[in-house]
């Protein structure tokens, strides 16, 4: 079982999330891309062994999309961050509520 440390909600079971897509793929521009470019972007994907970037939607939690860097061989999660780059820039000090490691271990939240 994967445990994803959501930047907004804290450590959660992967069953709360829905896998969206390969986070390393850049989709073609809508205004001038042809059918071949879209075919290649959607259907011709690599299946790498090792470090990979994925986008996950926290459907049973904050409903934010997070970008997860994960080792596909071991399933170890290396990092989790908000997927939208502008959100990271403008809200980096407001991301929360985050529970501390001590609260996660004890399961008790103190008065804030």
pLDDT tens for 20-33 read 988 888 888 888 78
Residue % of the chain over a pLDDT of 70: 77
Q: Is residue 112 part of a domain?
A: no
Q: Is residue 47 part of a domain?
A: yes
Q: Is residue 21 part of a domain?
A: yes
CA-CA-CA-CA dihedral for 82, 47, 12, 63, to nearest 10: 50
C-alpha to C-alpha distance for 56 and 20, rounded to whole angstroms: 5
C-alpha to C-alpha distance for 91 and 9, rounded to whole angstroms: 15
pTM above 0.85, yes or no: no
Q: Is residue 106 part of a domain?
A: no
Full domain range(s) for residue 83: 3-27+39-93
As for how many domains the chain has, the answer is 1
The CATH number of the domain holding residue 66 is 3.30.2270.10
Q: Is residue 68 part of a domain?
A: yes
HSE of 48 in the Cβ direction (CA atoms, 13 Å)? 12
């Amino acid at each position: 079982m994967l445990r994803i440390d959501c930047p907004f909600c804290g450590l959660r079971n992967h069953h709360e999330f829905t896998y969206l897509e390969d986070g390393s793929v850049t989709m073609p521009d809508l205004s001038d891309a042809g059918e071949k470019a879209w075919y290649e972007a959607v259907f011709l994907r690599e299946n790498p062994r090792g470090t990979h970037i994925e986008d996950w939607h926290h459907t049973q939690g904050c409903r934010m999309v997070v970008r997860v860097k994960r080792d596909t061989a071991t399933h170890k999660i290396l990092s989790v961050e908000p997927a939208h780059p502008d959100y990271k820039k403008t809200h980096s000090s407001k991301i929360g509520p985050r529970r501390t490691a001590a609260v996660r271990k004890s399961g008790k939240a103190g008065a804030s």
